[in-house]
């Protein structure tokens, strides 16, 4: 009995061990097959207008390979749509190609090519968008003799995802996203200060009273900031109740003189035809009529029987109202100021030690404090007007005046941050400020390994001009960085490591 039990137990253990070995071998084979199937080459190409990112099966002589290609416009990094795309694989004198007239998913085209000869070659894309044709090449493509060599090469070429985040093209197409090469250009000294926004002197008009009387507002909303049109009535000045210099009396007198002289001149014209009046009398009547007409028409444009009309001389905005409703005004008194908003003046002060630097001024950047937006002065048709050569009494700062147009909405009297840039002969690597992420005093950028894989890298920053920041270490001029949408990659990284192909629906 004991022998039988021992035999059954030994047989069970042996059977279980065989199953486990078979299972391990099966899983190993499955994993190997899975890895073998998932090995892909990743290619990236750029033209002046397009970015192409392709995931391709290894090219093997006589075998069909799939090339999944993603196309984005560099102008906005949105997917290419409604285009005809041809892909050519050129190896020596051999060429195989496929043309796709449309795709179900914007920006994604799936090609299948079967190489006819082995060797080194290139992929050539021809994208027909409307009447324009774009050409994009991906060099250094290899067609292998067999599967084993192809997959070994693909595994060696696989890009490491350590400290990198996956952000697929489908994800980037849904947000404001952009990658760029760092600037490698002269980056001189930057003088940071604060500037006050002022109306341009030639852009501001002061309305004055032409007669004396009581000021009446034409509308109840005559306040600073109100938009006005040329010829619009803003004030009336009535002198009806004044004993002297009464504008209403002056207007009535001018009207009477005009009408009387007109009738007298017309009567003498008829009499002159019959030689009843001399030419001299007719000429005197004409001169009297013309003088009365000029005086009356001048008053007619600005006065009525109630007094003077004060009109806006241009389109613009009321900057300041200088009188109160019902207040007495005298001729020449300022009533209001109108700004045409065609440009602004920026007034800033800098330390005297920077006065020599301003001789090498190249441009300026203004940054609004409310919206935190930055603008290059050259992009606003702006320029440096003058830099003071001396300081004022009781003020040891040097004044700086700049001019800008009104393409950006500023508020006269408000303050903006001002970065004054000077020219330099030394090239420096710089990235847009939007590319930088700060964490506990350290700065990072996302460097593009592929258009779907981005490495988070610490960089050492230098001077900023309000738009770009100098990078002293951590980045080369040939590495593309994310300049829009970096925060979304950071958030995706916070969710944990993902498979390089996660998010794709291929």
Give yes or no for residue 6 having a pLDDT over 50: no
Instruction: Give the model's confidence band at 365: pLDDT under 50 very low, under 70 low, under 90 confident, else very high.
Output: very high
Strand 437-439 to 361-368 pairing: unpaired
The mean pLDDT of 301-308, rounded to a whole number, is: 63
- How is 141-168 classified by DSSP, letter by letter? EEEESSHHHHHHHHHHHPPP-TTEEE--
The per-residue pLDDT for 34 is 39
The mean pLDDT of 286-292, rounded to a whole number, is: 84
The overall pTM is greater than 0.75 = no
- Taking only the tens place, the pLDDT of each residue in 445-502 is 999 999 999 999 999 999 998 899 999 999 999 999 999 999 999 988 776 544 444 4
Backbone phi, psi, residue 470, to 5° = -70, 135
The per-residue pLDDT for 104 is 81
- 409 and 375 Cβ atoms separated by less than 8 Å: no
The per-residue pLDDT for 275 is 76
Query: Rounded distance, CA 409 to CA 387, Å?
Result: 25
The per-residue pLDDT for 126 is 95
The per-residue pLDDT for 500 is 47
Give yes or no for residue 73 having a pLDDT over 90: yes
H helices, E strands: number in the chain: 6, 34
Q: Which of 6-10, 243-247, 441-445 has the lowest mean pLDDT?
A: 6-10
The per-residue pLDDT for 2 is 45
The mean pLDDT of 138-144, rounded to a whole number, is: 93
Q: Is 139 or 22 the better-scoring residue by pLDDT?
A: 139
Which residues lie closer than 8 Å to 487 by C-beta, 6 or more apart? 437
- Taking only the tens place, the pLDDT of each residue in 328-358 is 888 889 999 988 877 888 999 998 888 888 8
- 147 and 60 Cβ atoms separated by less than 8 Å: yes
The per-residue pLDDT for 240 is 59
Helix (H), strand (E) at residue 15 = helix 2-38
The per-residue pLDDT for 489 is 93
- Taking only the tens place, the pLDDT of each residue in 88-136 is 999 998 999 999 988 889 999 999 999 999 999 999 999 998 889 999 9
Instruction: Give the model's confidence band at 30: pLDDT under 50 very low, under 70 low, under 90 confident, else very high.
Output: very low
What single-letter DSSP state applies at residue 499?
-
Give yes or no for residue 204 having a pLDDT over 60: yes
The per-residue pLDDT for 443 is 96
The per-residue pLDDT for 496 is 56
Instruction: Give the model's confidence band at 22: pLDDT under 50 very low, under 70 low, under 90 confident, else very high.
Output: very low
- Of 396, 1, 415, 362, nearest in space to 197 by CA: 415
Instruction: Give the model's confidence band at 242: pLDDT under 50 very low, under 70 low, under 90 confident, else very high.
Output: low
Round the average pLDDT of the chain to a whole number and report it. 83
The per-residue pLDDT for 14 is 44
Give yes or no for residue 53 having a pLDDT over 50: yes
Instruction: Give the model's confidence band at 313: pLDDT under 50 very low, under 70 low, under 90 confident, else very high.
Output: confident
Measured between alpha carbons, how far is residue 105 from residues 42, 167, 282, 484 in Å? 20, 18, 90, 24
Backbone phi, psi, residue 385, to 5° = -85, -50
Which residues lie closer than 8 Å to 447 by C-beta, 6 or more apart? 454, 455, 457, 475, 479, 480, 481
Give yes or no for residue 9 having a pLDDT over 70: no
Instruction: Give the model's confidence band at 221: pLDDT under 50 very low, under 70 low, under 90 confident, else very high.
Output: confident
The mean pLDDT of 170-181, rounded to a whole number, is: 95
Q: Which of 60-64, 118-122, 261-265, 353-357 has the lowest mean pLDDT?
A: 261-265
Which residues lie closer than 8 Å to 231 by C-beta, 6 or more apart? 311, 312
Which residues lie closer than 8 Å to 429 by C-beta, 6 or more apart? 182, 183, 184, 470, 471, 475, 476, 477
The per-residue pLDDT for 478 is 94
- 309 and 236 Cβ atoms separated by less than 8 Å: yes
Instruction: Give the model's confidence band at 255: pLDDT under 50 very low, under 70 low, under 90 confident, else very high.
Output: confident
Rg (CA), the chain: 40
- 82 and 130 Cβ atoms separated by less than 8 Å: no
The per-residue pLDDT for 413 is 83
Q: What percent of the chain has pLDDT over 70?
A: 85
């Amino acid at each position: 009995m004991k022998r039988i039990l021992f035999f059954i137990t030994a047989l069970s253990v042996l059977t279980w061990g065989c199953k486990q070995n078979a299972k391990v071998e099966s899983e190993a084979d499955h994993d190997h097959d899975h890895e073998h199937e998932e090995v892909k080459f990743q290619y990236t190409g750029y033209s002046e207008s397009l970015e192409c990112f392709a995931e391709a099966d290894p090219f093997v002589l006589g075998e069909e390979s799939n090339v999944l290609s993603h196309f984005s416009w560099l102008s906005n990094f949105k997917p290419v749509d409604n285009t005809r795309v041809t892909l050519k694989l050129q190896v020596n004198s051999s060429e195989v190609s496929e043309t796709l007239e449309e795709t179900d998913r914007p920006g994604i085209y799936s090609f299948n090519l079967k190489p006819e000869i082995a060797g080194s070659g290139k992929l050539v894309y021809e994208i027909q968008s409307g009447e324009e044709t774009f050409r994009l090449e991906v060099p250094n493509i290899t067609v292998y003799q067999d599967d084993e060599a192809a997959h070994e090469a693909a595994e060696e070429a696989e890009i490491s995802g350590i400290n990198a985040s996956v952000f697929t093209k489908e994800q980037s197409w849904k947000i404001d996203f952009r990658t760029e090469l760092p600037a490698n250009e002269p980056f001189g000294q930057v003088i940071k200060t604060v500037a006050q926004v002022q109306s341009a002197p030639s852009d501001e008009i002061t309305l004055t009273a032409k007669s004396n009387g009581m000021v009446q507002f034409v509308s109840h909303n005559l306040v600073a900031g109100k938009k006005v049109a040329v010829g619009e009535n803003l004030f009336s000045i009535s002198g009806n109740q004044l004993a002297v210099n009464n504008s209403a009396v002056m207007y009535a007198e001018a009207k009477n003189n005009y009408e009387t002289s007109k009738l007298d001149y017309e009567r003498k014209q008829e009499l002159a035809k019959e030689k009843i009046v001399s030419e001299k009398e007719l000429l005197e009547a004409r001169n009297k009529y013309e003088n009365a007409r000029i005086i009356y028409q001048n008053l007619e444009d600005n006065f009525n029987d109630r007094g003077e009309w004060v009109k806006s001389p241009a389109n613009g905005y009321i900057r300041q109202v200088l009188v109160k409703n019902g207040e007495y005004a005298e001729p020449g008194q300022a009533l209001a100021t109108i700004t045409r908003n065609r440009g602004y003046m920026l007034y800033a002060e800098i330390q005297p030690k920077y006065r020599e630097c301003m001789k090498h001024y190249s441009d300026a950047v203004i940054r609004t404090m409310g919206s935190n937006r930055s603008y290059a002065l050259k992009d606003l048709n702006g320029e440096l007007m003058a830099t003071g050569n001396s300081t004022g009494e009781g003020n040891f700062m040097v004044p700086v005046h700049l001019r800008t147009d009104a393409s950006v909405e500023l508020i006269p009297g408000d303050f903006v941050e001002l970065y004054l840039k000077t020219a330099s002969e030394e090239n420096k690597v710089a990235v847009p400020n939007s590319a930088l992420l700060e964490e506990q005093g350290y700065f990072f950028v996302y460097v593009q390994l592929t258009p779907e894989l981005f490495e988070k890298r610490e960089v050492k920053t230098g001077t900023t001009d309000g738009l770009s920041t100098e990078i002293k270490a951590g980045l080369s001029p040939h590495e593309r960085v994310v300049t829009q949408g970096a925060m979304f990659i950071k958030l995706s990284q916070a969710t944990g490591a993902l498979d390089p192909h996660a998010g794709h629906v291929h």
